[in-house]
Chain A
Amino acid sequence: MSSTIFRHEFRSRLKSVLTWSVAVTLIIFFYFSIFPSFADQTEMLNQMMAKFPPALLEAFGMNRADLSTVLGFYCLVFLFIQICLAVQAGNYGFGLVSIEESELTADFLLSKPVSRGQVLTSKLLAALACLTLTNLVVWVSSFIAIALFKGDRSFDVGTLVLILLSIVIFQLFYLSVGLVISLLVKRVRSVTPFSLGLAFGTYILNAFSGVFGDVALELITPFKHLDPNYIVQHGAYNQPLVLLNLTITIISLAASYWLYTHRDIHAVS
């Protein structure tokens, strides 16, 4: 771990962290501002829905958390936060080491008296610190937004904390998968197409999993692994899927270290 690299990486990302934090805060407040009027409408709907067979509701994914409750609505908002966080973490992951090659600074960095393992560790920790800053912003603005707009409805703080705790697992997944993909391909010219493709690809897979029962494909998307609706319904994580998620993260990280220390990095010619 080299503190110089850490500091440089951290500082160069601060502006991006600020932008994402503002974006996430805006999303939370914007969506929550329609919660009071929305909740009243859905309460009527829920009474109607109670009469239908549960099998049907399940088929259409309507057995999800109910939108008239604070946490049910929060699940909906959280999905959009997740998309943003996925793009952000993916950006950092894909750009973590590839940016040195595309900006022709790789040979400068590697001529320093720091091992490649140390370079990667410092960079990873710096990116993680940046993601954690955004994570904290999500925590704070979620609590404030809920307190502002919940009215006289009550909610279970423990479950909300559980949902918010899942963020760090979620971010680590995109960070490490992005990193390993960027090391597997020959050259990353531009980071955004990669991270957008990864984030929205997994999001769409998850979106369809709700419509019709179960097919194995959604098992690969973190949106399913850390589905807030599941957490609200069961008051706990979906353990096998979270373990699967963590396994993928750890394997990607290990593979990244191996790939990076063995990578053939071209000097500027």
Chain B
Amino acid sequence: MNIFFRELKANLKSLLIWSVIIALLIMAVTAKYSAFVGDASMLKILDSLPKAMLDVFNMRAFNLTTLTGFYGLMLVYFALMGAIAAAMWGSDLISKEERDKTVEFSLVLPVTRSAVVTAKALAGLVYCFAFVLITWGVSLVAIRSFNPEPAFYSYLALEMQALLVIELIFLSIGLLLGCAMKQYKRSGSTTVAIILITYFLYVLSSMQSSLDFLKYFTPFKYFDASQLLQSGHMDGFFLLLSAIIIVVSLIGAYWIYNKRDLYI
């Protein structure tokens, strides 16, 4: 329990910085939206567009003149921010003990290694929840002036759930890397590699239909914003896949951390 509170306090600054970044992003983007939504001539042109064209540009589900469509477009950017934050927390929570040369101290405490990992993972979990709640809260404040329809709020809630799942995937991958890498420096760079690769795969898989199979390899594609809008719920298969990734990573993290040599 002490470790949990200590971790919560130690990383507060990082959470604060991420919150400021995400708040700035939401503010900047809604400012853009408000400039756009007032332009009546643009709405008219959009209405006159043929459906085929919208299809091609992936605007099929995203009617960008509505707030819902607009937030659909934003989901992947929220997810990207959330993924970076969560993965960093995950790997940093574990590996910073070795970097700061405090790992010997924390492991002579009368707690098992598993208990240390558990406390740290819980702290990461609280941070992920906080990140999602802050994104949600700032969004609600930022869009107040547009008077969105009630359906928007439920869509926003759905998006935030998807964001949470994506964050948890990256948190557990980060924890696994933090536990598994023999050198603390490696865990940071491997995390970067995983984020970059999954994001690039996401872009590739949306570009061409023949590369659609790539969607299984990138969490960013698991909960596609347009698919969320059409079906109104998260895809069961991908939820299961996410759960498997999370559980496997966590089991791996505990198992490896319990039996590894520490870098001192």
Q: Which residue of A lies closest to B36 (CB)?
A: A212
- Nearest CB in chain B: distance from A28 CB, A: 12
Interface positions of A from 198 to 213, Cβ below 8 Å from B = 200-201, 204-205, 207-208, 211-213
Q: Please, what's the 1-or-0 string for A37-58, where 1 marks a CB less than 8 Å from any CB in chain B?
A: 1100100010011001101100
Q: Which residue of A lies closest to B17 (CB)?
A: A197
Residue B28 interfacial (CB < 8 Å): yes
Q: Which B residues are in CB contact (< 8 Å) with A60?
A: 57, 64
Q: Which residue of B lies closest to A196 (CB)?
A: B84
Given known pairs A34-B211, A196-B88, the reply for A213 and B80 (CB within 8 Å) is no
Residue A189 interfacial (CB < 8 Å): yes
Residue B247 interfacial (CB < 8 Å): no
Residue B227 interfacial (CB < 8 Å): no
Q: Is the Cβ of A208 less than 8 Å from the Cβ of B191?
A: no
Residue A244 interfacial (CB < 8 Å): no
Residue A191 interfacial (CB < 8 Å): yes
Residue B189 interfacial (CB < 8 Å): yes
Residue B33 interfacial (CB < 8 Å): yes
Q: Which B residues are in CB contact (< 8 Å) with A124?
A: none
Q: A215 to B30: give the CA distance in the assembly, Å.
A: 11
Q: Is the Cβ of A212 less than 8 Å from the Cβ of B53?
A: no
- Nearest CB in chain B: distance from A34 CB, A: 6
Q: Which residue of B lies closest to A208 (CB)?
A: B29
- Nearest CB in chain A: distance from B197 CB, A: 9
Residue A179 interfacial (CB < 8 Å): no
Given known pairs A189-B100, A190-B99, A190-B188, the reply for A197 and B84 (CB within 8 Å) is yes
Residue A117 interfacial (CB < 8 Å): no
Q: A16 to B28: give the CA distance in the assembly, Å.
A: 35
Residue A246 interfacial (CB < 8 Å): no
Residue B260 interfacial (CB < 8 Å): no
Q: Which B residues are in CB contact (< 8 Å) with A215?
A: 28, 31-32, 35
**The one of B45, B80, B99, B200 that contacts A56, using a Cβ cutoff of 8 Å:** B45
Residue B233 interfacial (CB < 8 Å): no
Residue B207 interfacial (CB < 8 Å): yes
Q: Which B residues are in CB contact (< 8 Å) with A87?
A: 192, 196
Q: Is the Cβ of B99 less than 8 Å from the Cβ of A84?
A: no
Residue B231 interfacial (CB < 8 Å): no
Q: Is the Cβ of A102 less than 8 Å from the Cβ of B192?
A: no
- Nearest CB in chain B: distance from A44 CB, A: 10
**The one of A38, A52, A84, A201 that contacts B196, using a Cβ cutoff of 8 Å:** A84
Q: A207 to B80: give the CA distance in the assembly, Å.
A: 12
Q: Which residue of A lies closest to B209 (CB)?
A: A41
Q: Which residue of B lies closest to A59 (CB)?
A: B42
- Nearest CB in chain B: distance from A91 CB, A: 8
Query: How many residues on chain A are close to B (CB under 8 Å)?
Result: 43
Q: Which B residues are in CB contact (< 8 Å) with A80?
A: 200, 203
Q: Which B residues are in CB contact (< 8 Å) with A53?
A: 45
For chain B, the bracket of interface size reads 35 or more
Q: A140 to B132: give the CA distance in the assembly, Å.
A: 43
Residue A27 interfacial (CB < 8 Å): yes
Residue A14 interfacial (CB < 8 Å): no
Q: A55 to B36: give the CA distance in the assembly, Å.
A: 13
Q: Which residue of A lies closest to B50 (CB)?
A: A48
Q: Is the Cβ of A213 less than 8 Å from the Cβ of B21?
A: no
Q: Which B residues are in CB contact (< 8 Å) with A207?
A: 77
Q: Is the Cβ of A191 less than 8 Å from the Cβ of B45?
A: no
Q: Which B residues are in CB contact (< 8 Å) with A25?
A: none
Q: Which B residues are in CB contact (< 8 Å) with A217?
A: 28
Q: A87 to B189: give the CA distance in the assembly, Å.
A: 11
Q: Is the Cβ of B33 less than 8 Å from the Cβ of A212?
A: yes
Q: Is the Cβ of A38 less than 8 Å from the Cβ of B207?
A: yes
Q: Which residue of A lies closest to B70 (CB)?
A: A211
Q: Which residues in B have some Cβ–Cβ distance to A below 8 Å? A: 14, 17-18, 21, 25, 28-29, 31-33, 35-36, 42, 45-46, 49, 52-53, 56-57, 64, 73, 77, 80-81, 84, 88, 92, 96, 99-100, 188-189, 191-193, 195-196, 200, 203-204, 207-208, 210-211
In addition to A49-B53, A204-B25, 10 A-B residue pairs with Cβ atoms within 8 Å of each other are A34-B208, A41-B208, A52-B49, A56-B46, A60-B64, A83-B196, A84-B196, A196-B88, A197-B18, A204-B77
> 7 interchain pairs (CB within 8 A)?
A27-B200, A56-B42, A87-B192, A196-B84, A197-B21, A208-B77, A212-B32
Q: Which residues in A have some Cβ–Cβ distance to B below 8 Å? A: 16, 19, 23, 27, 30-31, 34, 37-38, 41, 45, 48-49, 52-53, 55-56, 59-60, 62, 80, 83-84, 87, 102, 189-193, 196-197, 200-201, 204-205, 207-208, 211-213, 215, 217
Counting from the closest, the 10 A-B pairs by CB-CB distance are A192-B188, A212-B36, A212-B32, A193-B88, A56-B45, A204-B77, A217-B28, A196-B84, A215-B32, A208-B29
